[in-house]
Structure 1
């Protein structure tokens, strides 16, 4: 009398008279802990779409590698991303430093951890999948996203399973998660086994993070209507099209006037339409540290320029690894006048033409035009889509 459902087990009940009537069953939910913990937020019979999201045909970069996004894997990754149980004192999750409301970044310069604060500003996690650069962290110390996902967990200051300074090792986290009912069910659901390993955690977290995409911006609406980025976008204002041209065009040094003309050359490091960072980029001239002591010339990675700000122009937290820049105007101003600081042997060659720091001599209208263009790179859905939101009840 019951329709067969793949995820429900049935136990036959015998009548008290001793007869065996297999038409009477009591359904048993193998994912009762998932249901009890997350309610309707996670439905194992109807998962959110992570694996088959629409990607514009002009987006060609993809660093997924051998860890293809699945609805099951990304669902587990979402739970792990938001679960404070992944920290040693149950107070910090990945989402504590990478907040959906701020393009998966933080509004503070240094994010709070279990034993202090982060050494660099928390990088935005928008469109991390769509980049040639596969390495992660500002200094590229993680060879890929999978490796990166558990490094903050193993950091004494951030999430506290370092195995040093009195911390439990990562194996302590494995033991901890193995006692939690919804993880037993989730790992069984995703991998066919309750066994929890670091590799499985890495795969799931990376799938969730790579699923976070933003392609509903004014830029994307315009780009879909033209053959290439160099053409005027019909939905752009004249100012926005001017800013786009300045962004795409390289600067040209005029020896007669001893000035730089042309564009800003931003696309040399942040190529459209992904606006990711070129893998061979040096540092950008910002070599300070958050604590203000010493210099750091190893920071050569950057997030995509998409969703630098929200649609209303407010920032998604400070920019750069030190959080020293807080407005688009200040960011453009930095690249307009590059100071070649003593000791910076790793400044990107594109920022030191003729051996000197770049001097663009931008006019106020040009700066405003580039700002207008950068604002077109911001979408809306990424800030509110429930599939990337906290699955735990508030």
Structure 2
């Protein structure tokens, strides 16, 4: 009886000491709080998983990696963290800047060992891409695989395992020594273990969460049954530009347009305005910083947010950055010259075997520019959930 009585006394006394004293408590997210302050609140996460998507948007390449608030939060940290480069100077956001619709105003972006071989593609609405492959040359079968390839590139972020670089395992070792990553991986995955697969899942969730559906186009599209109808909020010029964009052209035997629209939607169908999966090269075959031709570029970002609301381009266009205005982009497709050696030119650009001649007039060019500007929103540039979580 005495032993049982003493045990009864000792147990509550032990709990009383440990529960009433805060000295034994260790905050499991102390490093996250110390590093990010109020920029990341793990008790009140930003809404990544349940953002409003218009009912007319039907494409979704999420597959087996659905967006979660936890996963995208980790992805945001990884996206902006310069520790992911070998010399701590470059992050994903260095080349994909929120202020420029997650692209770069430089033709070639700076990496740890030089400049990139292609212009940084905008990341707007990557989740709603019709084409599931990524990179200009579509070498990544999924967005997940794409996310860690720049990290493993000698020029871009420097964990290539070649040319004296450490491999990706060196990055894993590095991240394991950073306190906030141990806490964040435990928070997201239930384990402190860091793997390339987990990094890919989180980065892809964050990138897929970056969406833009607050444009003038979206306001109009919500008011009609289909894209072919005139949008009540559009000017006559914008509606004309939309019809030109959507309608296929009529060509004569030598590739000259004789009627119809200009067929942009043949490769960039509304309402996602992503590139069609079966697209070929678009006639731009140059290389950045080197000679020769490159006919492998068949991917493109969505046409949404080509420009800011003031009409300023979010960086130069095409993989070489050779196009520096909407007028120049339209002009390129207006007259396609089939270059020697370009065996991969999209068939839609060479009707009857000839490079297309769309024979624009000034009114049509201005109408197309007016329509393309309606595809830009405003929230994507300012929403804090896509911003840099590291204090300046």
Does 1:117 pair with 2:115? yes
Partners in 2 of 1:25 and 1:363 — Cα distance?
Answer: 80
Partners in 2 of 1:188 and 1:179 — Cα distance?
Answer: 14
Contact 2:130/2:277, CA 8 A, preserved across alignment? yes
Partners in 2 of 1:109 and 1:137 — Cα distance?
Answer: 16
Deviations 1:290-314 (A, max 9, x none): 1241000000000000000000000
Contact 2:108/2:115, CA 8 A, preserved across alignment? yes
Q: Structure 1 unaligned runs (5+)?
A: 1-13
| Deviates most, 288-297 or 276-285 | 288-297
Contact 2:255/2:357, CA 8 A, preserved across alignment? no
Superposed structure 1 runs of 4+ greater than 6 Å apart: none
Contact 2:253/2:352, CA 8 A, preserved across alignment? no
1:379 to 377, 380, 390: 377
What SS does the aligned partner of 1:129 have?
A: helix
**Offset of residue 28 of structure 1:** 3.7
Alignment partner, residue 280 of structure 2: 282
Does 1:44 pair with 2:45? no
Partners in 1 of 2:245 and 2:387 — Cα distance?
Answer: 33
RMSD between superposed Cα atoms in Å:
1.6
**Offset of residue 256 of structure 1:** 11
Partners in 1 of 2:248 and 2:73 — Cα distance?
Answer: 43
Partners in 1 of 2:198 and 2:256 — Cα distance?
Answer: 57
Partners in 2 of 1:324 and 1:343 — Cα distance?
Answer: 19
What SS does the aligned partner of 2:173 have?
A: helix
Alignment partner, residue 312 of structure 2: 314
Spell out the pairing of 1:163-174 with structure 2 (5 A cutoff). Answer: 163-174=161-172
Spell out the pairing of 1:383-394 with structure 2 (5 A cutoff). Answer: 383-394=381-392
Alignment partner, residue 246 of structure 2: 248
Spell out the pairing of 1:144-155 with structure 2 (5 A cutoff). Answer: 144-155=142-153
Q: Structure 2 unaligned runs (5+)?
A: 1-11
User: Aligned pair count?
Assistant: 379
**Offset of residue 22 of structure 1:** 6.5
Contact 2:154/2:163, CA 8 A, preserved across alignment? yes
Normalized against structure 2, the TM-score is what? 0.94
What SS does the aligned partner of 2:128 have?
A: coil
**Offset of residue 132 of structure 1:** 1.7
Spell out the pairing of 1:214-233 with structure 2 (5 A cutoff). Answer: 214-233=212-231
1:134 to 110, 132, 135: 132
Spell out the pairing of 1:1-394 with structure 2 (5 A cutoff). Answer: 20=16, 24-26=20-22, 28-254=26-252, 259-394=257-392
Contact 1:254/1:261, CA 8 A, preserved across alignment? no
Partners in 2 of 1:282 and 1:22 — Cα distance?
Answer: 68
| Deviates most, 358-367 or 287-296 | 287-296
Partners in 2 of 1:129 and 1:314 — Cα distance?
Answer: 25
Partners in 1 of 2:156 and 2:205 — Cα distance?
Answer: 22
Partners in 2 of 1:59 and 1:20 — Cα distance?
Answer: 57
| Deviates most, 247-256 or 300-309 | 247-256
Partners in 1 of 2:251 and 2:120 — Cα distance?
Answer: 36
Evaluate the alpha carbon distance shift between residue 96 and residue 206 of structure 1 in structure 2; reply closer, same or farther with a 3 A threshold.
same
Evaluate the alpha carbon distance shift between residue 308 and residue 354 of structure 1 in structure 2; reply closer, same or farther with a 3 A threshold.
same
| Deviates most, 21-30 or 88-97 | 21-30
**Offset of residue 141 of structure 1:** 0.4
